[in-house]
Chain A
Amino acid sequence: MSSAALALILLILACAGMRAAGLLVAGRLKPDHPFVRWAGSVAQATLTAFVLAAVIAPGGIMASLPLVARVAGLAAAVAILFWRGGLLLPVLGGLAVTLVLAAL
Protein backbone atom coordinates (compact mmCIF):
# COMPACT_ATOMS: atom_id res chain seq x y z
CA MET A 1 0.00 0.00 0.00
CA SER A 2 1.36 3.45 -0.91
CA SER A 3 1.95 6.07 1.79
CA ALA A 4 -0.72 8.29 0.16
CA ALA A 5 -3.31 5.51 0.52
CA LEU A 6 -2.28 4.71 4.10
CA ALA A 7 -2.37 8.40 5.07
CA LEU A 8 -5.85 8.70 3.57
CA ILE A 9 -7.14 5.67 5.50
CA LEU A 10 -5.76 7.10 8.77
CA LEU A 11 -7.40 10.46 8.06
CA ILE A 12 -10.75 8.81 7.25
CA LEU A 13 -10.66 6.87 10.55
CA ALA A 14 -9.70 9.97 12.55
CA CYS A 15 -12.50 12.07 11.01
CA ALA A 16 -15.07 9.33 11.69
CA GLY A 17 -13.79 9.14 15.27
CA MET A 18 -14.20 12.89 15.83
CA ARG A 19 -17.75 12.87 14.44
CA ALA A 20 -18.70 9.82 16.54
CA ALA A 21 -17.16 11.29 19.70
CA GLY A 22 -19.12 14.51 19.17
CA LEU A 23 -22.41 12.64 18.72
CA LEU A 24 -21.69 10.47 21.77
CA VAL A 25 -21.13 13.51 23.96
CA ALA A 26 -24.16 15.27 22.47
CA GLY A 27 -26.38 12.23 23.17
CA ARG A 28 -26.50 13.14 26.87
CA LEU A 29 -27.04 16.87 26.43
CA LYS A 30 -29.91 19.19 25.49
CA PRO A 31 -29.55 21.90 22.80
CA ASP A 32 -29.40 24.65 25.43
CA HIS A 33 -26.70 22.96 27.54
CA PRO A 34 -23.74 25.34 28.02
CA PHE A 35 -21.28 22.83 26.50
CA VAL A 36 -23.42 22.50 23.35
CA ARG A 37 -23.69 26.28 23.09
CA TRP A 38 -19.93 26.63 23.56
CA ALA A 39 -19.28 24.00 20.85
CA GLY A 40 -21.66 25.82 18.47
CA SER A 41 -19.91 29.11 19.19
CA VAL A 42 -16.46 27.57 18.51
CA ALA A 43 -17.66 25.95 15.27
CA GLN A 44 -19.15 29.24 14.06
CA ALA A 45 -16.06 31.26 14.99
CA THR A 46 -13.88 28.67 13.19
CA LEU A 47 -16.00 29.02 10.07
CA THR A 48 -15.71 32.83 10.27
CA ALA A 49 -11.92 32.58 10.53
CA PHE A 50 -11.89 30.19 7.56
CA VAL A 51 -13.91 32.62 5.40
CA LEU A 52 -11.93 35.73 6.33
CA ALA A 53 -8.57 33.97 5.95
CA ALA A 54 -9.64 32.67 2.52
CA VAL A 55 -10.65 36.19 1.45
CA ILE A 56 -7.80 38.20 2.98
CA ALA A 57 -4.82 35.83 2.85
CA PRO A 58 -5.64 32.67 0.87
CA GLY A 59 -3.06 30.02 0.11
CA GLY A 60 -2.56 28.16 -3.14
CA ILE A 61 -4.25 29.00 -6.37
CA MET A 62 -6.95 31.25 -4.82
CA ALA A 63 -4.21 33.82 -4.20
CA SER A 64 -4.10 34.39 -7.96
CA LEU A 65 -7.37 36.35 -7.63
CA PRO A 66 -6.56 39.98 -6.67
CA LEU A 67 -7.29 41.00 -3.06
CA VAL A 68 -9.66 43.77 -4.14
CA ALA A 69 -11.66 41.28 -6.24
CA ARG A 70 -11.96 38.84 -3.33
CA VAL A 71 -12.98 41.49 -0.79
CA ALA A 72 -15.42 43.21 -3.18
CA GLY A 73 -16.94 39.82 -4.09
CA LEU A 74 -17.65 38.97 -0.47
CA ALA A 75 -18.98 42.49 0.21
CA ALA A 76 -21.28 42.23 -2.83
CA ALA A 77 -22.58 38.82 -1.72
CA VAL A 78 -23.41 40.15 1.76
CA ALA A 79 -25.00 43.32 0.32
CA ILE A 80 -27.21 41.27 -2.03
CA LEU A 81 -28.15 38.98 0.88
CA PHE A 82 -29.42 41.90 2.96
CA TRP A 83 -31.09 43.49 -0.08
CA ARG A 84 -32.85 40.49 -1.64
CA GLY A 85 -32.37 37.53 0.75
CA GLY A 86 -31.87 33.94 -0.45
CA LEU A 87 -28.48 32.27 -0.90
CA LEU A 88 -28.03 31.47 -4.58
CA LEU A 89 -28.38 35.05 -5.83
CA PRO A 90 -25.90 36.53 -3.30
CA VAL A 91 -23.31 33.82 -4.06
CA LEU A 92 -23.66 34.22 -7.84
CA GLY A 93 -23.61 38.03 -7.53
CA GLY A 94 -20.50 37.92 -5.35
CA LEU A 95 -18.79 35.55 -7.77
CA ALA A 96 -19.69 37.79 -10.73
CA VAL A 97 -18.19 40.86 -9.01
CA THR A 98 -15.03 38.89 -8.16
CA LEU A 99 -14.61 37.65 -11.72
CA VAL A 100 -15.24 41.07 -13.31
CA LEU A 101 -12.71 42.79 -11.02
CA ALA A 102 -10.19 39.98 -11.51
CA ALA A 103 -10.49 40.34 -15.27
CA LEU A 104 -9.84 44.11 -15.27
Chain B
Amino acid sequence: MIFRSACREALGAPALAMAATFMAFGAAVQAAGLGMGWGLAAGQLVYGMPGQMVLLAAVGAPGGALPAVLGAVAANARFLPMAVALGPWLGPHVRLRFLAMPFIAVTPWAMAMRRLPDLPPADRLAWFLGFALTSWTVAGLSTWLGHLVAPVLDGWILAALLFVNPLYFGTILAGDTRFAPARRAVLCGAVATPLVLLLPASWALLGAGLVGGTVAFLWGQAKERRP
Protein backbone atom coordinates (compact mmCIF):
# COMPACT_ATOMS: atom_id res chain seq x y z
CA MET B 1 0.00 0.00 0.00
CA ILE B 2 2.65 2.50 1.08
CA PHE B 3 4.90 1.23 -1.75
CA ARG B 4 2.22 1.98 -4.38
CA SER B 5 1.43 5.37 -2.88
CA ALA B 6 5.15 6.27 -3.05
CA CYS B 7 5.26 5.15 -6.71
CA ARG B 8 2.35 7.50 -7.48
CA GLU B 9 4.06 10.34 -5.59
CA ALA B 10 7.20 9.88 -7.70
CA LEU B 11 5.23 10.27 -10.92
CA GLY B 12 4.47 13.99 -10.42
CA ALA B 13 7.05 16.77 -10.36
CA PRO B 14 9.92 14.40 -9.45
CA ALA B 15 9.30 12.39 -12.64
CA LEU B 16 9.22 15.58 -14.71
CA ALA B 17 12.58 16.68 -13.31
CA MET B 18 14.13 13.23 -13.75
CA ALA B 19 12.75 12.80 -17.26
CA ALA B 20 13.94 16.20 -18.47
CA THR B 21 17.44 15.86 -17.01
CA PHE B 22 18.08 12.27 -18.08
CA MET B 23 16.65 12.88 -21.54
CA ALA B 24 19.14 15.72 -21.97
CA PHE B 25 21.89 13.41 -20.69
CA GLY B 26 20.91 10.65 -23.15
CA ALA B 27 21.04 13.18 -25.99
CA ALA B 28 24.48 14.42 -24.84
CA VAL B 29 25.78 10.82 -24.73
CA GLN B 30 24.64 10.32 -28.31
CA ALA B 31 26.22 13.61 -29.37
CA ALA B 32 29.52 12.50 -27.80
CA GLY B 33 29.49 9.43 -30.04
CA LEU B 34 28.90 6.92 -27.22
CA GLY B 35 26.46 4.03 -27.42
CA MET B 36 23.15 3.49 -25.68
CA GLY B 37 24.78 0.88 -23.38
CA TRP B 38 27.28 3.42 -22.01
CA GLY B 39 24.48 5.96 -21.45
CA LEU B 40 22.20 3.50 -19.69
CA ALA B 41 25.03 2.15 -17.49
CA ALA B 42 26.00 5.71 -16.51
CA GLY B 43 22.41 6.78 -15.88
CA GLN B 44 21.34 3.69 -13.94
CA LEU B 45 24.49 2.64 -12.09
CA VAL B 46 26.24 5.95 -11.40
CA TYR B 47 22.83 7.63 -10.98
CA GLY B 48 24.32 11.00 -10.04
CA MET B 49 24.11 13.64 -12.74
CA PRO B 50 27.12 15.90 -11.85
CA GLY B 51 29.53 12.95 -11.92
CA GLN B 52 27.96 11.59 -15.10
CA MET B 53 28.36 14.96 -16.82
CA VAL B 54 31.98 15.42 -15.66
CA LEU B 55 32.88 12.00 -17.08
CA LEU B 56 30.97 12.55 -20.30
CA ALA B 57 32.67 15.91 -20.87
CA ALA B 58 36.07 14.22 -20.47
CA VAL B 59 35.38 11.48 -23.01
CA GLY B 60 36.23 13.71 -25.96
CA ALA B 61 39.08 15.55 -24.16
CA PRO B 62 42.73 15.00 -25.18
CA GLY B 63 43.72 12.98 -22.07
CA GLY B 64 40.72 10.63 -22.38
CA ALA B 65 38.18 9.79 -19.70
CA LEU B 66 40.37 7.98 -17.14
CA PRO B 67 42.00 11.08 -15.57
CA ALA B 68 38.52 12.54 -15.08
CA VAL B 69 37.33 9.70 -12.83
CA LEU B 70 38.61 11.42 -9.67
CA GLY B 71 36.82 14.64 -10.62
CA ALA B 72 33.62 12.72 -11.34
CA VAL B 73 33.87 10.93 -7.97
CA ALA B 74 34.37 14.28 -6.23
CA ALA B 75 31.37 15.72 -8.07
CA ASN B 76 29.24 12.87 -6.70
CA ALA B 77 30.88 12.82 -3.25
CA ARG B 78 27.68 14.22 -1.77
CA PHE B 79 26.40 10.60 -1.82
CA LEU B 80 28.38 9.99 1.36
CA PRO B 81 26.76 12.66 3.58
CA MET B 82 23.39 11.94 1.91
CA ALA B 83 23.59 8.24 2.82
CA VAL B 84 24.67 9.10 6.38
CA ALA B 85 21.73 11.49 6.78
CA LEU B 86 19.20 9.15 5.14
CA GLY B 87 20.24 5.83 6.70
CA PRO B 88 18.72 6.29 10.17
CA TRP B 89 15.33 7.15 8.57
CA LEU B 90 15.16 3.92 6.53
CA GLY B 91 13.44 1.83 9.18
CA PRO B 92 14.56 -0.36 12.06
CA HIS B 93 16.28 -3.19 10.09
CA VAL B 94 19.85 -2.04 9.49
CA ARG B 95 20.66 -4.77 6.93
CA LEU B 96 17.49 -4.17 4.89
CA ARG B 97 18.47 -0.52 4.51
CA PHE B 98 21.10 -1.64 1.99
CA LEU B 99 18.27 -2.40 -0.47
CA ALA B 100 18.05 1.39 -0.82
CA MET B 101 21.75 1.78 -1.61
CA PRO B 102 21.68 1.95 -5.45
CA PHE B 103 18.91 4.57 -5.37
CA ILE B 104 20.48 7.15 -3.07
CA ALA B 105 20.54 10.22 -5.30
CA VAL B 106 19.39 13.81 -5.00
CA THR B 107 15.74 13.42 -6.07
CA PRO B 108 14.78 10.45 -3.85
CA TRP B 109 16.95 11.80 -1.01
CA ALA B 110 15.38 15.27 -1.04
CA MET B 111 11.83 13.87 -1.04
CA ALA B 112 12.65 11.19 1.53
CA MET B 113 14.07 13.71 3.99
CA ARG B 114 10.72 15.55 3.80
CA ARG B 115 8.43 12.52 3.94
CA LEU B 116 10.12 9.82 6.05
CA PRO B 117 10.10 11.60 9.44
CA ASP B 118 6.25 11.72 9.30
CA LEU B 119 5.85 7.99 8.48
CA PRO B 120 5.81 5.09 10.96
CA PRO B 121 9.31 3.50 11.09
CA ALA B 122 8.03 0.19 9.64
CA ASP B 123 6.72 1.93 6.49
CA ARG B 124 9.77 4.04 5.72
CA LEU B 125 11.85 1.60 3.68
CA ALA B 126 8.84 0.55 1.56
CA TRP B 127 8.06 4.21 0.85
CA PHE B 128 11.65 4.93 -0.15
CA LEU B 129 11.90 1.86 -2.41
CA GLY B 130 8.59 2.68 -4.13
CA PHE B 131 9.58 6.29 -4.75
CA ALA B 132 13.17 5.54 -5.69
CA LEU B 133 12.46 2.59 -8.01
CA THR B 134 9.92 4.68 -9.91
CA SER B 135 12.37 7.61 -10.25
CA TRP B 136 15.15 5.22 -11.30
CA THR B 137 12.91 3.63 -13.97
CA VAL B 138 11.90 7.06 -15.29
CA ALA B 139 15.61 7.99 -15.45
CA GLY B 140 16.43 4.89 -17.49
CA LEU B 141 13.56 5.31 -19.93
CA SER B 142 14.40 8.99 -20.37
CA THR B 143 18.10 8.28 -21.03
CA TRP B 144 17.05 5.78 -23.68
CA LEU B 145 14.56 8.23 -25.23
CA GLY B 146 17.08 11.11 -25.20
CA HIS B 147 19.69 8.96 -26.93
CA LEU B 148 17.11 7.97 -29.53
CA VAL B 149 15.76 11.45 -30.34
CA ALA B 150 19.06 13.37 -29.98
CA PRO B 151 19.46 14.00 -33.71
CA VAL B 152 16.19 15.99 -33.84
CA LEU B 153 16.69 18.06 -30.63
CA ASP B 154 18.26 21.49 -30.98
CA GLY B 155 20.44 23.18 -28.37
CA TRP B 156 17.70 25.44 -27.08
CA ILE B 157 15.44 22.50 -26.18
CA LEU B 158 18.34 20.69 -24.47
CA ALA B 159 19.09 23.82 -22.40
CA ALA B 160 15.43 24.05 -21.32
CA LEU B 161 15.38 20.34 -20.39
CA LEU B 162 18.54 20.71 -18.28
CA PHE B 163 17.18 23.83 -16.55
CA VAL B 164 14.23 21.85 -15.13
CA ASN B 165 16.70 20.24 -12.71
CA PRO B 166 17.79 23.40 -10.79
CA LEU B 167 14.20 24.68 -10.91
CA TYR B 168 12.94 21.49 -9.30
CA PHE B 169 15.60 21.37 -6.56
CA GLY B 170 15.26 25.11 -5.96
CA THR B 171 11.54 24.61 -5.35
CA ILE B 172 12.17 21.71 -2.94
CA LEU B 173 14.76 23.73 -1.00
CA ALA B 174 12.47 26.77 -0.81
CA GLY B 175 9.73 24.54 0.61
CA ASP B 176 12.13 23.09 3.18
CA THR B 177 13.01 26.53 4.55
CA ARG B 178 9.96 26.39 6.82
CA PHE B 179 12.10 24.18 9.10
CA ALA B 180 14.84 26.03 11.01
CA PRO B 181 17.74 23.54 10.42
CA ALA B 182 17.01 23.42 6.66
CA ARG B 183 16.62 27.21 6.58
CA ARG B 184 20.10 27.61 8.10
CA ALA B 185 21.61 25.06 5.67
CA VAL B 186 20.02 26.74 2.63
CA LEU B 187 21.09 30.21 3.79
CA CYS B 188 24.69 29.17 4.54
CA GLY B 189 24.82 27.12 1.31
CA ALA B 190 23.74 30.23 -0.61
CA VAL B 191 26.40 32.39 1.08
CA ALA B 192 29.05 29.72 0.28
CA THR B 193 28.01 29.44 -3.38
CA PRO B 194 30.71 31.88 -4.66
CA LEU B 195 33.24 29.20 -3.64
CA VAL B 196 31.88 27.15 -6.57
CA LEU B 197 33.45 29.70 -8.89
CA LEU B 198 36.75 29.88 -6.95
CA LEU B 199 37.56 26.22 -6.21
CA PRO B 200 38.74 23.66 -8.82
CA ALA B 201 35.67 22.50 -10.75
CA SER B 202 35.72 18.90 -9.56
CA TRP B 203 35.69 19.87 -5.85
CA ALA B 204 33.73 23.10 -6.14
CA LEU B 205 30.24 21.92 -5.19
CA LEU B 206 31.35 19.69 -2.35
CA GLY B 207 33.70 22.41 -1.03
CA ALA B 208 30.90 24.97 -0.93
CA GLY B 209 28.57 22.41 0.67
CA LEU B 210 31.13 21.44 3.33
CA VAL B 211 31.78 25.06 4.31
CA GLY B 212 28.12 26.16 4.18
CA GLY B 213 26.76 22.99 5.81
CA THR B 214 29.31 23.00 8.63
CA VAL B 215 28.66 26.67 9.45
CA ALA B 216 24.88 25.98 9.42
CA PHE B 217 25.34 22.98 11.72
CA LEU B 218 27.51 24.95 14.18
CA TRP B 219 24.98 27.81 14.10
CA GLY B 220 22.24 25.34 15.05
CA GLN B 221 24.37 23.85 17.85
CA ALA B 222 25.06 27.33 19.24
CA LYS B 223 21.32 28.16 19.19
CA GLU B 224 20.49 24.95 21.07
CA ARG B 225 23.06 25.68 23.78
CA ARG B 226 21.63 29.14 24.38
CA PRO B 227 19.25 29.17 27.43
A interface residue numbers (CB < 8 A to B)? 3-8, 10-12, 14-16, 18-23, 25-27, 29-31, 33-58, 60-62, 64-65, 70, 73-74, 77-78, 81-82, 86-88, 90-92, 94-95, 98-99, 102
Contacts and interface: CB of A to CB of B under 8 A. Distances in A.
Contact of A91 (B13, B53, B110, B156): B13
Contacts of B176: 44
17 contacts: A8-B42, A11-B42, A14-B76, A19-B79, A41-B181, A42-B212, A43-B81, A44-B173, A45-B216, A46-B206, A47-B173, A48-B212, A49-B205, A49-B212, A50-B169, A51-B173, A99-B160
Contacts of A47: 78, 106, 110, 169, 173, 189, 209
B189 A4 contact: no
Contact of B80 (A5, A22, A81): A22
A14 B69 contact: yes
A62 B157 CA distance: 10
A5 B37 CA distance: 10
A6 B171 CA distance: 36
Contact of A38 (B59, B172, B214): B214
Contacts of B163: 54, 62, 65, 70, 73, 95, 98
Would you call the interface of chain B mostly helix, strand, loop, or mixed? helix
A10 B69 contact: yes
Contacts of B51: 11, 15
Contacts of A61: 155, 158-159, 162
- Among B55, B101, B163, B192, the one with the most A-chain Cβ atoms within 10 Å of its Cβ is B163
A98 B171 CA distance: 14
Contacts of B166: 50-51, 54-55, 58, 74
Contacts of A90: 13, 171
Contact of A18 (B50, B76, B156, B211): B76
A22 B89 contact: no
Contacts of A16: 45, 101-102
A11 B186 contact: no
Interface of B: 12-14, 16-17, 34, 38, 41-42, 45-48, 50-51, 53, 55, 57-59, 64-66, 68-69, 72-73, 76-89, 94, 97-98, 100-102, 104, 106, 109-110, 113, 117, 155-156, 158-160, 162-176, 181-182, 184-186, 188-190, 192-193, 195-197, 204-206, 208-214, 216-217, 220-221
Would you call the interface of chain A mostly helix, strand, loop, or mixed? helix
- Among A45, A87, A90, A91, the one with the most B-chain Cβ atoms within 10 Å of its Cβ is A45
Given A11-B72, A21-B80, A26-B84, A87 B159 contact: no
B98 A20 contact: yes
A32 to B, nearest CB: 8
Contacts of B165: 54
A31 B46 CA distance: 26
